[in-house]
Structure 1
Amino acid sequence: MVNPTVSVVIITYARPHFVGECLRHLAALRTAPHEVLVVDASPDPRTRTLVSEDFPDVRYLRNDLGPGTMPESRQIGLVNATGDVVAFIDDDAYVDPDWLDELVRPYADPSVGGVGGRASNGIDGEESRGLDLIGRFLPDGRLTGYFGADPGRSIDVDHLLGANMSFRRSTLLALGGIRGNYPGTCLCEESDISLRVRQSGHRLVFMPTAVVRHVAAPYQTGGQRFDRRYLYYARRNHVVLLARVFGFRAPVLRRYVLTALREQRDYLRTTYRLVRGRPDHEGVVPSRRRRLTAPVVLTRSLAEIIGLGAGFPAALVARRRDRAEGVSTP
């Protein structure tokens, strides 16, 4: 594909300030996209007003399903996009001026179905951390990140980061579009897209020169990053992901559950250390209050175990919905 047209889709919920900054960075690109679409699930009109008054060339689309429906917002963007490539960025991801030029370069190879870029989080050393683990799908079903790393060249990966990813529109449409039922924190929804594109025989490429600055805006849908709600949905949605993409009988699903259960030992070790008053790896001795409240740590393990169990009936419902909508399931 020579010089593909690109539709940029921004999904958002109740963060108009970040949408405005995101759109200002897109307007400063060296090469303008074919179109920009904002898909808004907010409960108020602030984002609609911002787009209509300050960015009249941007297409505003509405997702009336509300919070926790990021994949549904992506699907709305996909079905309304007209470019050869659909690029998804988060509202708190601000593109570099040459982001679009770098993102589309790998599409010259017809075997490439998706391209993702680097998300710089402003963390010291992130560019060299996890260089051999960027976007990997491990044999035990876990997914690695490290999308802030810079390997110095483009590399093939197994999945992409939702804050900075793109796909051929025709490829996504051929797969039946973007699937929902990844609620809560919407974890794994971008991995569902990526793994399905890989299963269809296409390559996924990580292009470290296609950079966005990810400022990690506050959640507006309840909870905080890595709280118990997050842990619950991380496990629940991961089970749904594996069951939908590979099937209930897939060995990788069993391996993931066993790995997740083994990982609960870390909570037990932490609780034991705190109760005994032993120092952590940095030599810090827990306070008396911390020792008394140590059992609270186990509620994080409980959230994960409940999430694992909830993933199976949720996956059954999701697979039935997929079949009803004509999306093939293993």
Structure 2
Amino acid sequence: MGTSQDGLCGSGSKDWSQSARSEPAAASDQFPFVSVVIASYRRRDLLRSTISHILKDPYPWYEIIVVDQTEEELPADGVLGNLGKSGREVRYFHLAKANLSAARNLGIQQSRGEIILFCDDDIIPWPRWIQAHVRHYADPKIMSVAGGEVVSQESKVDLSLRRARWKRPLFRTLVLWQDIKSVFTRRAPGGRIGKRIVAQFTRSGAQLHDWTVSGTGIVDFGKGCNMSFRKAVFPQVGYFDPRCTHRDEADLFIRLKRKGLLVMYDSDAGVCHLKADSGGGWFRLPDPRSHYRWRFYCEAYFFLKNFPTIYFPLFLLRLLPEAFHSFRVLGFGSALVLTRSLMDARRAVKEIVKQGE
């Protein structure tokens, strides 16, 4: 059930690029041309900072493609300022309706590189970040590279809340029983470096990951803020699915796994992720009810599309902590939100199966 490119880039996209080079020149097998794609939403100041950091990378052949989903449409100079005159080609596109998957698909469509490197609009890349990604493509078996991630200590995200969830007995029991156990009973050894789990899917649709592990190795998936692909892989497996703007990259990586295509993890291809608390690659819903309905829908759609229904009870167990949290916010209305989300996801999956995607 791949995703075709036609119609997925949004009908309201506009190209503000002033330069139009026909083909990247002087790229080679050693230094293939790279398109760095940044999907952004309501973070234009952070976006400019991210671009300025990327422009310091010494890799010789790359372009930067910005897909801005902010409602206010401005010319490229109004968003990029002098960055568009840096000597590197920085191409700017505006997408009228915010959709992270559609923004990434538009970046693919407009790219001219052999390698497409995706990042968020609030990152600081490691030195020689692009080269750390590119070097693995010398192996023709590697179709994607997952880079490491270090979350900035200055991030406004309250990481203590995440750690606190592990202290709840119910949550800890569910994770250890249905996620960790399912990983250790897998046949495929991918996703580990030594004894450390870097990136693995579980049978409940969960993603176990630790992007701070040092080294390289084959993994199940990559992080959306720092991942690259051969451009030639998209016609084989399909594009990002705009029906699901949460876990859309995980959906793509599963399609790579089904084709037997390899994903290489490299901690040297790392970024510092600022995790700004507003804006981002996708729009944020204004009220809790809409947020939970969207969240539950995306989780259910991802699971029903990619995993056997025999594991659906495990999926519901994994969703239970978030469902409990929604109950604390919405009361008994959370049950209706969850039910509608599951029904919508089931209809969406039936539709794509009927269409033969």
TM-score interval (norm. to shorter)? 0.7 to 0.9
User: Who is 1:176 aligned against?
Assistant: 238
Find out whether 1:21 has 2:36 as its counterpart.
no
Structure 1, unaligned stretches of length 5 or more? 272-292
* 297 and 266 in structure 1: CA distance in 2 versus 1, 3 angstrom threshold: farther
Find out whether 1:55 has 2:55 as its counterpart.
no
Q: Counterparts of 1:28 and 1:9 in 2: how far apart (Å)?
A: 16
Q: Deviations over 1:118-157 (max 9, x none)?
A: 121135999xxxx73322111222222333x22x211211
Partner amino acid for 2:316? L
User: Who is 1:316 aligned against?
Assistant: 350
SS in structure 2 at match of 1:136: strand
Instruction: Find 1:122's aligned residue among 128, 152, 172.
Output: 152
Structure 2, unaligned stretches of length 5 or more? 1-28, 154-158, 164-194
Matches within 5 A, 1:4-19: 4-19=32-47
Instruction: Find 1:195's aligned residue among 250, 254, 258.
Output: 254
Find out whether 1:163 has 2:225 as its counterpart.
yes
Overall identity of the aligned pairs, in %: 20
Shift of 1:172: 1.2
User: Who is 1:278 aligned against?
Assistant: none
- Higher RCO structure (Cα 8 Å, ≥6 apart): 2
* 254 and 310 in structure 1: CA distance in 2 versus 1, 3 angstrom threshold: farther
Does the CA-based 8 Å contact 1:239-1:315 persist in structure 2?
no
Q: Counterparts of 1:302 and 1:22 in 2: how far apart (Å)?
A: 41
Partner amino acid for 1:219? S
SS in structure 2 at match of 1:311: helix
* 259 and 199 in structure 1: CA distance in 2 versus 1, 3 angstrom threshold: same
Q: Counterparts of 2:298 and 2:36 in 1: how far apart (Å)?
A: 26
User: Who is 2:121 aligned against?
Assistant: 91
SS in structure 2 at match of 1:103: helix
Q: Counterparts of 2:346 and 2:196 in 1: how far apart (Å)?
A: 32
Partner amino acid for 1:74? R
User: Who is 2:207 aligned against?
Assistant: 143
Shift of 1:236: 1.6
Q: Please identify, of 304-313 and 198-207, the stretch whose mean Cα deviation from structure 2 is larger.
A: 304-313
TM-score, normalised on structure 1?
0.75
Shift of 1:38: 0.5
Q: Counterparts of 2:66 and 2:304 in 1: how far apart (Å)?
A: 31
Q: Counterparts of 2:332 and 2:322 in 1: how far apart (Å)?
A: 6
User: Who is 1:290 aligned against?
Assistant: none
SS in structure 1 at match of 2:65: strand
Q: Deviations over 1:67-126 (max 9, x none)?
A: 2x1111111110111111100001112212211111112212111110011121135999
SS in structure 1 at match of 2:197: coil
User: Who is 1:239 aligned against?
Assistant: 300
User: Who is 1:274 aligned against?
Assistant: none
SS in structure 2 at match of 1:187: coil
Q: Counterparts of 2:83 and 2:101 in 1: how far apart (Å)?
A: 26
